[in-house]
Amino acid sequence: MPDSRRPTKRTPTARPTTRPATGDAAPARASGANRPGSDVVVRRGIIAGIVVAALLLVALVGYLVLSYTPVFSIENVETVATKHMSKASIAKLAKIPKGSTLLNLDEAKVTENLEKNPWVGSVSYQKEFPNTLRIVVTERKVSALVVMSAGDVVWYLGEDNVWIQPASIKVGESDSVNDVALKAARKAGAMLITDVPASITPMAGSASSAEVLKAVSSYREQFSTAFAKQIVSFSASSLESISCTLKSGVVVSLGSPTNIASKEAVITQIISKYSGKLTYINVRVPSSPAYRLVDSKYAVAGTGVTGTDLASANDDSSCSSSSDTSDSSSSDTGTSSADTSGTSSASSSTSTGTSDSTSTTGTSGN
């Protein structure tokens, strides 16, 4: 009989094993936000931001305080004279307000005051602490000297298409306006534009809206540098009759500013073929160009505006013409009178040798 006092052996109960479920039910590992020390880093960043903002605010307040205190009051205004503006005129025109300091100076307003003189192109300021302001004016560069078709009205036109002021041109009894204006243009390093319609009324400091002047600008900008250097002047009585005169005295009828590259190519080709024999080229329609040749030992290169007066020709000298096709003759005949109206003196003085030759306009070829 079994002993009831013997302890009964118990089988250990298996503990339920709990495996983490996949997905949202899985316990998340500690993220970066919950890592030890992460809160400290965030707090430090916030504190650093507050400190920087406070320092900037202090600096701004300090700047504003200094701006309106007499510590840096402008007591000396230095200027640099330009070709058309004296030191005194620049300082007077600037009108620095009383109480201005080097820190609160309204440069935009001062620049606006200075730009009332159309010669002012740009302005820069140099501040020499504690009390000196230096104003440096850069003049507007002259792009062209423009001669109106009526009277002796001549104006400087700036590179930014702004009228500057009338040019002081003194024309003697034996001089022409164009000749005197050409000398002034060369001195200013500018282009001469003649025969501009008198209906155009320049106003100092205002931008030009004249279509003929915009057309001339298009030619100047799109011609190659090599060809542009040969041009001495433009005639711009209308868009259709724009022409230029070369250093050789040859007058080139350009017409409206279209197909500029093609026109230049044709001009260059004709000049290369008939160098020293040309007086006139018409490339208003570059696919059907026209030109005039002169056959005279008295034909010489012109000045580029009115031409050089030729020596008295012998009775047997004459102006002849050259033609490659009959079509080109009709093209030249229909356009020559209009195209050369503004530069007729240049064409005639270069192409005529005697009184007989003046009646011979010549024919043209392709």
> Ramachandran region of residue 165, left (φ > 0), alpha (ψ -120 to 50) or beta?
beta
pLDDT in the model for residue 52: 83
Provide the CB-side half-sphere exposure for 316 (13 A, CA).
0
55 part of a folded domain: no
Q: What angle do CA 222, 223, 225 make, to 5 degrees?
A: 115
| Amino acid of residue 46 | I
pLDDT band of 46, cuts 50, 70, 90 = confident
| Amino acid of residue 127 | K
Lowest mean pLDDT of 37-51, 171-185, 196-210, 327-341, name the range. 327-341
| Number of structural domains in the chain | 3
58 part of a folded domain: no
Do residues 275 and 366 both lie within one domain? yes
Q: What angle do CA 175, 228, 274 make, to 5 degrees?
A: 85
pLDDT band of 185, cuts 50, 70, 90 = very high
55: phi then psi, degrees, rounded to nearest 5 = -65, -40
Residue 44 in tokens: 């430090």
Provide the CB-side half-sphere exposure for 365 (13 A, CA).
13
pLDDT in the model for residue 170: 86
For residues 233 and 317, which has the higher predicted lDDT (pLDDT)? 233
CA dihedral of 275, 185, 180, 171, whole degrees rounded to 10: 160
Q: Which residues pair with 231 in a beta bridge?
A: 246
Largest CA distance in the chain: 173
| Amino acid of residue 3 | D
Contact criterion met (CB below 8 Å) for 156 and 164: yes
Do residues 134 and 234 both lie within one domain? no
pLDDT band of 19, cuts 50, 70, 90 = low
Residue 100 belongs to domain spanning: 70-139
Do residues 255 and 316 both lie within one domain? yes
Which residue among 179, 205, 231 closes a domain? Answer: 205
Model-level pTM? 0.67
Do residues 289 and 166 both lie within one domain? no
Do residues 218 and 358 both lie within one domain? yes
Could you tell me the CATH number of the domain that includes residue 92? 3.10.20.310
Do residues 147 and 121 both lie within one domain? no
Say which residues have a Cβ less than 8 Å from residue 344's Cβ, sequence separation at least 6.
none
Q: Which residues pair with 63 in a beta bridge?
A: none
pLDDT band of 7, cuts 50, 70, 90 = low
Check pLDDT > 50 for residue 195: yes
Tally DSSP H helices, then E strands, for the chain.
9, 12
247-282 per-position pLDDT tens digit: 999 999 999 999 999 999 999 999 999 998 999 999
Check pLDDT > 50 for residue 12: yes
Residue 342 in tokens: 């503004």
Mean pLDDT of the chain: 77
pLDDT band of 76, cuts 50, 70, 90 = very high
Which residue among 139, 161, 177 closes a domain? Answer: 139
Do residues 183 and 317 both lie within one domain? no
Which residue among 160, 181, 205 closes a domain? Answer: 205
Q: Which residues pair with 122 in a beta bridge?
A: 138
Say which residues have a Cβ less than 8 Å from residue 191's Cβ, sequence separation at least 6.
143, 144, 145, 185, 216, 220, 231, 233, 234
Overall average pLDDT of the 180-191 stretch: 94
120 part of a folded domain: yes
43 part of a folded domain: no
Do residues 194 and 289 both lie within one domain? no
228 part of a folded domain: yes
Check pLDDT > 70 for residue 219: yes
Do residues 348 and 292 both lie within one domain? yes
Pick from 43-52, 60-69, 275-284 the range whose average pLDDT is largest: 275-284
In whole angstroms, give the CA distance from residue 239 to residue 341. Answer: 13
pLDDT band of 360, cuts 50, 70, 90 = very low
Do residues 216 and 319 both lie within one domain? yes
Do residues 252 and 344 both lie within one domain? yes
Do residues 201 and 239 both lie within one domain? no
pLDDT in the model for residue 351: 35
Contact criterion met (CB below 8 Å) for 202 and 163: yes
pLDDT in the model for residue 172: 82
44 part of a folded domain: no
pLDDT band of 210, cuts 50, 70, 90 = very high
Calculate the CA 207 to chain-centre distance.
13
